[in-house]
Structure 1
Amino acid sequence: MNDSTDTSRKTVKTYVPAYQKAEWQSHADDLDMSQSEFVRTMVQAGRAGFESGREEPDSPDPDPRGNALETRILKLLGTDTYDWDELLEAVSDDIESRLDETLEELQSRNEIRYSGRHGGYTTVGDTDGN
């Protein structure tokens, strides 16, 4: 077994400011994750933009590279033929639903709010609209 397929657990240590650790723990709690699971997930998500074409070995995630759009397009085209507008509508519906759910979640956690005065969504505590 070589290093790229070794699935045994190893320890990784890092040092961050106390406020950042507290923020990560709070976010992990909100997601019902351990802090280790949260940090591992965030690192993998961040790596996705830096290493194209690499697969994560033995990942429990069905889409470990984060190419959900690519996966969705291939699934749609595997069952039917679409023109540009139909395909755009099929994949846009998913992003609209995800955006709506995410905005609701952020508002419920009081991280953002809708402000007519500022012309749309703004972070809580953003008094000047910037």
Structure 2
Amino acid sequence: MSDSADTSRETVKTYVPAYQKAEWQSHADDLDMSQSEFVRTMVQAGRKGFESDSAEPDSPDSDPGGNTLERQVLELLSSDTYSWDELLEAVSDDIESRLDETLEELQATNRIRYSGRHGGYTTVDGGGDGN
């Protein structure tokens, strides 16, 4: 990885119900992880589900039943040494851009719309807007 990569830590703040925080802390304790490490790991694991849209040769679609993340990590580590943050940056896709593009495509094909009344995106057929 480049020596110029920014590996400094940043704070991310979110608010969750007390019961959820307690569940997360309990699960983190069971895994012998800090709560921060647990949340980081779970977010990254959840993001993995969004990677299957790609039709690129090294995408999860080209490795059915395989472990693309494992392959990426091994490839990266075969040529250099990486910190946790450097590895995280190297294997992370730009999910915000991909989500934005997907929402634009779904709106262009009239499958979803933004509903201010309902506080966000909803399906055009009414299935997600409470009608």
TM-score normalised according to structure 1 size: 0.37
- Higher relative contact order by CA 8 Å / sep ≥ 6: 1 or 2? 2
